[in-house]
Structure 1
Amino acid sequence: MQLKKLLQSLGPGLLFAGAAVGVSHLVYSTRAGANYGFGLIWLVLIANFFKYPFFEFGPRYAAATGESLLKGYQRLGNWVLVLFVGITLGTMFTVQAAVTIVTASLAAHLFGGFDLMVWVGILLTVCSSLLLIGRYNLLDYLMKFIIITLTIITLITVFIAFSNVQDPIDWTQQFPMEGLGLTFVIAFMGWMPAPMDLSVWHSLWALEKQKNTLGGFNLKKSLFDFNVGYIGTTILAFFFVALGALVMYNSGTEFSPKGAVFAKQLIDLYVTTLGSGAGFFVGMAAFITMFSTTITCLDALPRSMARAHSLLVHPASELIEQENKQEASETPRKYYLGWLLVLVLGSLVILNLFLTNMASFLMLATSLSFLTAPFFAIANYILVLRYLPIAQQPSKGIKVLSWFGITYLFVFCGIYLWSLF
């Protein structure tokens, strides 16, 4: 009974985990282990540590005010909301195309039967149908099953990998700060544990959870849910680094820069090294990881664009939220359906025209995510300080960490931009 109550109390935090564990974990964390062994553990630590406050502000703001971060951005000025729309439009199609093609590649590798683009169509159709039929509630239930299954399979896989280690593990940390090494570090930071705009998605999911939860989804419950998802996501990142380090590092294999090919290489190498049983577990973990990211992105990107669209087109009507916060928190269905269709069609166009260059597109998207992170960090910080009552604001420790986090983001953005010239 206690476990059932615990699972019922969770939701947006697990959706956050589902969106986060895709490219950042399966592709970048595993590749970090494959290329550097355990040498980039420091990067996983600092990225998750310094980004924590800005992701936490999403559910905090939603629970305390009954409105999303997007409405908060509008309070700071329409230009802030327009900037968010511009950033999202610049990356949404590439992001959705990238995560879908990796998922499709894994499906084709594991199950066979169809051409790659047919698998893309199947996945987008299945995910869209689930979202249209079940809406938020189905996504909520589905993600609980996916994250629990993923965690169990990943634990089994890491245990198998560690049990086959014969040589001492080298924990020496590495700091690649030039050339392709720096490019990889910035891309990894951009999506570790996730792009910063996931804080916006989380605030929207928190409002949906609040609307669909008897007894409400108050600040305490919302932050507990977030911390479960965030800490779980961080732990899974270490597991995926370990997978790459224990099996792929110093294996002599030339790893592809393309996420889909890299994922298949990961499975093949596990089959060769540890046997078909381990290969099955890795394959299923990889597929479940990417499927969770595909469906959560397919929900969150249209949901955030629909909400922003509604706020920009009907700003005056949104003032009713002081009188009826629940009604004001809903995203208009017609806008959601429209943006879902735009995202699916746009992703298919990207894949048909630029499939051979997806690795470059993904690197560009992750780099842009990191370069735009200071915007989201500062905007979220201002919102919780300006519009939340003192009792619902973050602690002094979190506020101090926010300043260190903003400094960290600007420093590494500066290093990356300096390296381009």
Structure 2
Amino acid sequence: MFTKNFFKTLGPGILFASTAIGVSHLVQSTRAGAEYGFALVGFILAANLFKWPSFEFGTRYAAATGRSLIDGYQKLHPAFSVLYLLINLLSMFFVNAAVTFVAAGFLQNLLGISVAPAYYYLPTLVLFLFSFSFLALGRYSLLDSGIKVIGTFMLFTTLAAFFIALANGPEAPLVYQPLQQLITIESVPFIIALMGWMPSAIDSSTWNSLWTIERARQTGYKPSIREAVTEFNLGFWTSAALSLCFVVLGAYLLYGTGNSLPNNNVGFATGIVTLYSANLGSWTFPIIAGAGFTIMLGTCIGVLDGYARSTARVIAVIRNRPESKRAYLLWISTITLGGFSIIAFFLPSFNTLIELATTISFMIAPFIAFLNYRLVFSTHLSREQQPSRAMRILSVLGVLFLTLFCAVMIWFWNV
């Protein structure tokens, strides 16, 4: 019975994983391995572990109450909803721009085309319009089905590359160096950016709660807390494991070789695909190019949906009115235009756009983590519905961990 019902629940966790396995994994984790070997693995593990409770709480709260985290913020205090809306408005254009910019590079690599400088905006425009049309026409149902296909393809290609890389061994004799020999003051922004989206930005925990509710509405089946949390944990820890796979690929295939990944979206995409196909065999180039593009396309669509859905919901909650049917379309339109404008501004610098978007996400993480903790351990959930004591302790440690690294970032800015 649990297995049968589990497949009715399956969806939000896979959607989370597919949305996460984009810039944070394909770009940041690979670059971490390529530039630092295994020295940053501890930071990646810590980010996954200490962020886990905040994401799990989004699914738990929705399964227990039938409401989203956003509704819960309003119940704690109306000011929290306003602050969450401001956070969304601050980050959504940068984040959508970053993931679409990366995806455009993989699209050009897949099609084997180069775009003249005068038309350099076209690939990103095409992707923004595709993501907009996909969500405007299909909304959650098409999103759920499409992401499952994309996620499966991505999983098998990444694991194939990972195991072949392990079998072949590293290109350079040393893939591990003591942390203190590699980390300098100049490394701090990259480390903060790496953890900012590892495995995803914490404010996307509200998306989990909204997707859990939408999945129940789609299937007509309301999952138990155990079923919903198990499904989410499957997606979360798959994402966490794959982040390490990308680090290994970067470390084994690039670290210590004198080669590096280019600082532009097309060059980076070409470098990644060439790296994988050289490891798997030249015949796999179209498969790897397709996998890289579909990974990023899934992220583009998921991120656009998440920000539009959460922004529409928080505005409805603040106004204390039913959510308008046109609100979702309004926000995917607004985010599409805003994201494209950001790309036009940051076009010359690939890494700057990525690091800015991920750093913004990291700086707002402690606040969202604190709100999620307050919600789950409030009177909104009964004691039986709340997580274990161990998870409560881990959640508190997570808030402290995120706050500490934000303080480090602020200190770095003032050095």
TM-score of the superposed pair, with normalisation by structure 1 = 0.91
- The 8 Å contact of residues 191 and 366 in structure 1, kept in 2 or not, is answered as yes
Task: For structure 1, list consecutive stretches of 5 or more residues without a partner in the other structure.
Answer: 319-330
TM-aligned CA distance change 1:246 to 1:6, over 3 Å: farther
Structure 2 partner of 1:188: 194
| Alpha-carbon distance in structure 2 between the residues aligned to 1:133 and 1:114 | 30
Structure 1 partner of 2:166: 162
Structure 2 partner of 1:80: 80
- The 8 Å contact of residues 307 and 332 in structure 1, kept in 2 or not, is answered as no
Q: Which moved more, 1:358-367 or 1:174-183?
A: 174-183
Report the count of equivalent residues: 407
| Alpha-carbon distance in structure 1 between the residues aligned to 2:173 and 2:346 | 43
Q: 2:271 aligns with which of 254, 257, 265?
A: 265
Deviations 1:147-206 (A, max 9, x none): 111110111111222232266564455256542211111111111011001101111111
| Alpha-carbon distance in structure 1 between the residues aligned to 2:312 and 2:160 | 40
1:203 aligns with 2:209: yes
What is the CA-CA distance between 1:87 and the residue it aligns to? 1.4
1:393 aligns with 2:397: no
Structure 1 partner of 2:365: 373
Identity among equivalent pairs (%): 39
What is the CA-CA distance between 1:285 and the residue it aligns to? 2.8
| Alpha-carbon distance in structure 2 between the residues aligned to 1:383 and 1:4 | 30
| Alpha-carbon distance in structure 2 between the residues aligned to 1:346 and 1:3 | 43
Structure 2 partner of 1:174: 179
- The 8 Å contact of residues 306 and 335 in structure 1, kept in 2 or not, is answered as yes
1:141 aligns with 2:145: yes
| Alpha-carbon distance in structure 2 between the residues aligned to 1:260 and 1:85 | 33
| Alpha-carbon distance in structure 2 between the residues aligned to 1:104 and 1:49 | 31
| Alpha-carbon distance in structure 1 between the residues aligned to 2:166 and 2:10 | 31
1:343 aligns with 2:347: no
Deviations 1:288-333 (A, max 9, x none): 21111011011111111111111122x1x46xxxxxxxxxxxx532
Structure 2 partner of 1:118: 122
What is the CA-CA distance between 1:113 and the residue it aligns to? 4.7
Q: Which secondary structure does the structure 2 equivalent of 1:391 belong to?
A: coil
Deviations 1:118-140 (A, max 9, x none): 22222222222221222211111
Q: Which moved more, 1:37-46 or 1:161-170?
A: 161-170
In structure 2, what residue type is equivalent to 1:141? S
What is the CA-CA distance between 1:282 and the residue it aligns to? 3.4
TM-aligned CA distance change 1:273 to 1:401, over 3 Å: closer
Q: 2:244 aligns with which of 231, 238, 243?
A: 238
Q: Which moved more, 1:286-295 or 1:116-125?
A: 116-125
| Alpha-carbon distance in structure 2 between the residues aligned to 1:351 and 1:52 | 31
Q: 1:360 aligns with which of 352, 356, 364?
A: 352
Taking the TM superposition and a 5 Å limit, the aligned residue runs for 1:97-108 are 97-108=97-108
| Alpha-carbon distance in structure 1 between the residues aligned to 2:278 and 2:152 | 27
Q: CA RMSD in A?
A: 2.2
Q: Which moved more, 1:293-302 or 1:247-256?
A: 247-256
| Alpha-carbon distance in structure 1 between the residues aligned to 2:4 and 2:179 | 43
TM-score of the superposed pair, with normalisation by structure 2 = 0.92
Q: Which moved more, 1:211-220 or 1:193-202?
A: 211-220
1:382 aligns with 2:374: yes
What is the CA-CA distance between 1:91 and the residue it aligns to? 1.5
- The 8 Å contact of residues 98 and 357 in structure 2, kept in 1 or not, is answered as no
Q: Which secondary structure does the structure 1 equivalent of 2:190 belong to?
A: helix
Task: For structure 2, list consecutive stretches of 5 or more residues without a partner in the other structure.
Answer: none
- The 8 Å contact of residues 94 and 365 in structure 1, kept in 2 or not, is answered as yes
- The 8 Å contact of residues 38 and 176 in structure 2, kept in 1 or not, is answered as yes
TM-aligned CA distance change 1:182 to 1:126, over 3 Å: same
In structure 2, what residue type is equivalent to 1:230? F
What is the CA-CA distance between 1:394 and the residue it aligns to? 0.9
| Alpha-carbon distance in structure 2 between the residues aligned to 1:278 and 1:174 | 35
| Alpha-carbon distance in structure 2 between the residues aligned to 1:75 and 1:283 | 46
